[in-house]
Amino acid sequence: MHMSGQKLIHETRENVWKALNSPEILRNCIPGCQSLEKTSETEMQAVAAIRVGPVSAKFGGRVSLSELNEPISYRITGEGQGGVAGFAKGEAFIQLEDVEGGTMLTYTVDAQVGGKLAQLGGRLIDATAKKMSEAFFEKFALEIRRQYHGEGAATEGGASAVPPAPLPQASPGVAVGVSPLAQPPLAEPAGSYRMAFLATLVLALVFGFLWLTSRQGGVPQLAATAPLSPEFGAAVQLILVAAVGYLFGRLSDR
C-alpha cells in the first residue's frame, strides 16, 4: 500500500516538529491508540485497536525514528502484530516546510499488511487508511492549538470541555438554588410528638404480637395462613428502637 499527501498546519515549523515527537500528543491523535510510550530518543512502543471492515484487532508494536533533520524531516519505521487478524509494517517519510500561514507537512507512506487484513482487499484498506489519516491530522491541529495556545482544552474523552450549566434565575420570593420543599418545618403543636410516638409504639406492639404468635404457635389461623419470617421480627425490633429513640430525642429537645 502506498499513500502520500500534504496538510497545511497553522503553526510554526518548530512547534509542529515538537508535536510530532511528543508521545502525549501523538497518543491523543492516533485513532484507536491506547498507549504510546517513548523508550528512547528515537523509539516508541505503541498499542492501538483498529477496525478495518469486519476485522477488529489490537496491535502492539514498536516505532523508530531515523534520518532526523530537525526541524525539517525524518523517517518513521514501525511494525505491529495483531494476532490472528494479521500484521502490519511499513515506513513513512515526513517533511516540514515553512509556508505562508503556517507549515506544510508532506508525507509518503509505504506499508504492508498480512493475515486476515490482507484478505479484505486493497480498496477497503486504502479507504480506511485515508479516513484514519484525516482523523489524525484534524485532531493533530486541535492538539497543537491546545498545547501551545491553550485553546480548546480537551477532556479525557477527547471532547472540548463543556461549560457548566447556568444557575436558574431567581423567582420572586424564592431563593436561587433553594427548593421550596427545603423550607424550615412549621412548629409542631404541643403534644403532637407524644401522639406520633404512641402511634408508632402501638403499631410496633401489634406487629410484634403477630410475629410472636406465629413463632410460638399461638393464634393458629394467622400462623397457618400468613407465616411470618425472622426478617419480619427484625423489622419489628427496628421499629421499636426507632420509636424509643424518637421519644428520647424529643424529650431531650425540651
107, 18 Cβ separation under 8 angstroms = no
**pLDDT for the residue numbered 219:** 44
Residue 171 carries which DSSP code?
P
Structure-block grid coordinates of residue 64: 523508530
Burial label, 148 (beta-carbon count in 10 A; 0-12, 13-18, 19+): middle
Q: How confident is the model at residue 8 (pLDDT cuts 50, 70, 90)?
A: very high
Largest distance between two CA atoms of the chain: 98
pLDDT above 60: residue 140? yes
pLDDT in tens, 179-207: 333 344 444 444 444 454 445 554 555 44
**pLDDT for the residue numbered 203:** 52
- pTM for the model stands at 0.54
pLDDT above 90: residue 73? yes
Mean of the per-residue pLDDT values of the chain: 70
CATH entry, 2-149, from 3.30.530.20, 3.40.47.10, 3.30.70.1150, 3.30.1490.100:
3.30.530.20
Structure-block grid coordinates of residue 137: 491530522
Q: How confident is the model at residue 72 (pLDDT cuts 50, 70, 90)?
A: very high
Residue 49 parent element (H or E) = strand 43-52
Report the C-alpha gap between 90 and 231 in whole angstroms. Answer: 68
The pLDDT > 90 percentage for the chain reads 24
pLDDT in tens, 217-251: 544 444 444 454 555 555 555 555 555 455 445 44
Report the C-alpha gap between 44 and 62 in whole angstroms. Answer: 6
Report the C-alpha gap between 210 and 204 in whole angstroms. Answer: 10
CB neighbours (10 Å) of residue 80? 21
Give the count of alpha carbons within 13 A of 238, CB side only.
6
Domain locations along the chain: 2-149, 191-253
